[in-house]
Structure 1
Amino acid sequence: MGMSVATTPVRGRRNRPRTGADGALARQQRRIYLPFITPALAIYLVLFVAPAFFGVYVSFQRWRGAGDQMKPVGLANYRRLLDDDVFKTAFVNTIQIVLACGAGIFLLAFAATVLLRRMRAKKVLRPVLFFPYIVSPIAIGVALGLLLAPDGLVNALLRAVGLDGLATNWLSPDNIFKTIMVGIVWVSAGFYVILLMAGVDQIPAYYYEESELAGANEFQKFRHVTLPMAWDVVSVAAVLWVINSIRIFEFVYAFTGTGDAPPVSSRTLTIQQFLVSTGGRNPAYELGYACAMGVVMVVLIVLLVGLLRRLMRRDAIQF
């Protein structure tokens, strides 16, 4: 459909000859570059890189925080993770959010891009779809928890219209995590719809016109035009989802109640890390163990993002 794959190699700078003026300009730019970048780099190293390395160091210690002396324990914290059933549940729940919620979010986002692309009111609908994402996750979590309580509005409405059989305890240990995943999809989908639509809007309209003349239906246009040409945006959105999904905390914690610790069946890695460090009504203050969980989360993000980028690698399409 008029698409072409870029195959022309791009020459690096080292292959281009430098004139004397170019060399002098490059040296002058380097002299200016360092004074400008040094303050920002120093702040980044002090506030982000140094705490990260300190967290790795603490993961090999037994430490209850300020006022307590660190005691080296080697790999004991990591071995404890392998034997901790609560951690295993939190790990599996986190992976379920990454995969199951991710699949639901992107299916909704793809369907929305197909519908919104042809709608005249798409500029009005975009802010509406994005609205749940900009509202505080704490507020949404608490509100949904109240609506889905056994005597909440949802069950009351179901009983009022004669659907008593559908009324259930949405917050029971067997149902709560499934309910949380549905809530995560609803809260997050709008952001990825907006992100994908930004890529779709850049596709020239004549590609869709040519596909219509060829007799393509909406699914075929999405498969052969929209998806290939917006692939870079899709891959970026997928990476963002992996990172954000593993970091989800506020919505889950607020949804399950901020008093006692959330039930084990609904915990994620971030919730469990919070509870074993300084969180909950009775914090454990096991900072070494919590840092070990943090290291596991970072490794998980790196592995999943690396795998995702490798699987989604495609040749560039110029249009």
Structure 2
Amino acid sequence: MSNVNKHMYSYFFIIPAAIIYTVFFLAPTVMSFFFSLTRWTLIDWEFIGLENFKQFFSEPSLMIGFKNTLFYAFSTMSLKVIIGLLLAVFLCSKIRNKNLLRSVVFFPALLSTIAVGVVFNAMMNPTIGIINKGLALIGITGPDWLGDANIALFSVVLVDVWKGVGIATVIFIAGIMAIPAEYYEAHKIDGGNSFQEFLHITLPLSRPALNTVIILALIGGMRTFDLVWAMTGGGPGFSTDLLASIIYKQYAGGFYGLATAGNVLLFLFVGLIAFPIFKLLNRKEVDL
């Protein structure tokens, strides 16, 4: 087979993936940028320039949505990193029933997000919810977890962390198990304790796993919609509204061009935050 034929043959493996990528990602993305500049319906459209963006920025809930999205993304990411790393270290230690405990930690990640939201909405009910009933047994009056504007968003954050920390833990476990055992053996010979082992070996050498968890959790947090909508619908008021839920409300109201502009802003918002963090983290990776 000639070099030319070999070169063409390799493209037969690339073309199917390229077609799928173009049809399901590239084309919709380009169309979204175009239709964000229009007032459109399912059967007609009218070019209006940047009017949708001007109107979207004039929405009173927009700044609340930006603030809530940043808080939600960075708080869920931080908690998943901290809890996931601690769980991974524990589950990589010499304990009994290690595989069973790993399965238990990962199990919430397998559940439907909508189902989790509905169940926790019932559990966090201030009068008949199981959480407040449990607190009442020990003499504590539980708050209105989802009805109090001051704590509603943090309540959703905790549920998100409970559901997603299993994935972070599995990634950290993979990162820790990839560290050569010789490093730990040498550290024990030098007389180091467990904390020093974690600080000087586990933490720096599991940096690729740490970077992966940070980026995935951060992007996931900024794009979250289903859990928030299932638990609070963005309420009370705008206290738990994220950018994604604001965009959904515009779609539901029939403002398709305005909602498309919001999606473009969300796309740019995620990219402008995640990409610099990704570059910074990769620059600091430690090679084994």
TM-score, with length taken from structure 1: 0.83
Residue of structure 1 in register with 2:150 after alignment? 174
- Residue 30 of structure 1 corresponds to which residue in structure 2? 7
Q: Distance in 1 between matches of 2:235 and 2:138?
A: 35
SS at 1:85 equivalent = coil
Aligned pairs (5 A) from 1:56-95: 56-63=33-40, 65-67=41-43, 69-95=44-70
Alpha-carbon separation, structure 2, partners of 1:241 and 1:265: 22
Per-residue deviation at 1:314? 2.7
Partner of 1:7: none
- Against the structure 1 CA distance between its residues 44 and 123, is the aligned structure 2 distance closer, same or farther, given a 3 Å change threshold? same
Shift of 1:26: 4.5
Q: Could you tell me which of 171, 175, 189 is aligned with 1:195?
A: 171
Aligned to 1:232: 208
Aligned with 1:268 (options 220, 231, 242): 242
CA distance in 1, matches of 2:107, 2:229: 21
How many residues are paired up? 284
Residues 114 and 218 in structure 1, CA contact (< 8 A), matched pair in contact too? no
Q: What's the CA shift string for 1:227-279, capped at 9, x where partnerless? A: 2222122212222122211221221111125xx977411111111111110xx
Match for 1:171: what amino acid? Answer: L
Aligned amino acid, residue 98 of structure 1: A
Q: What's the offset of the Cα at 1:34?
A: 2.1
d(CA) in 1 for partners of 2:136, 2:168: 35
Instruction: Map 1:1-319 to 2 at 5 A.
Output: 26-63=3-40, 65-67=41-43, 69-120=44-95, 121-151=97-127, 152-164=129-141, 167-172=142-147, 173-256=149-232, 263-277=237-251, 283-312=252-281, 313-314=283-284, 316-318=286-288
**How far apart, in 1, do the equivalents of 2:257 and 2:193 lie?**
57
Distance in structure 2 (CA, Å) of the matches to 1:316 and 1:28: 41
8 A contact 1:253–1:262 mirrored in 2: no
Greater Rg over alpha carbons, structure = 1
Change (3 A) 1:107 1:25: farther
Supply the AA of the counterpart residue of 2:273. Answer: L
User: How far did residue 141 of structure 1 move?
Assistant: 0.6
Paired residues of 1:90 and 1:267 also in contact (CA < 8 A): yes
* RMSD between aligned residues: 1.9
Of all paired residues, the percent bearing the same amino acid is 27
Deviations 1:176-198 (A, max 9, x none): 11111111111111110001101
Aligned residues of 1:211 and 1:221 also touching (Cα < 8 A): yes
Report the Cα distance in structure 1 between the residues aligned to 2:16 and 2:184, rounded to whole angstroms: 49
Asked if the contact 1:98/1:246 (under 8 Å) is kept, the reply is yes
Say whether the 8 Å CA contact 2:248–2:259 is kept in structure 1.
yes
Give the gaps of 5 or more residues in structure 1: 1-23, 278-282
Cα distance in 2 for partners of 1:301, 1:217 equals 41
1:224 & 1:217 partners in 2: Cα distance? Answer: 11
Deviation at 1:310? 2.3
User: What letter corresponds to residue 117 of structure 1 in structure 2?
Assistant: C
Distance 1:243 1:106, change over 3 A: same
**Alpha carbons 2:207, 2:286 under 8 Å: kept:** no
Cα distance in structure 2, aligned partners of 1:59 and 1:89: 22
C-alpha distance in 2 between matches for 1:264 and 1:315: 39
**SS of residue paired to 2:239:** helix
Question: How many Å separate the matches in 2 of 1:179 and 1:119?
Answer: 34
Q: Aligned with 1:265: secondary structure?
A: coil
Q: Distance in 2 between matches of 1:274 and 1:261?
A: 14
Relative to the length of structure 2, the TM-score reads 0.91
Change (3 A) 1:228 1:146: same
Q: Distance in 2 between matches of 1:209 and 1:275?
A: 57
SS across alignment from 1:194: helix
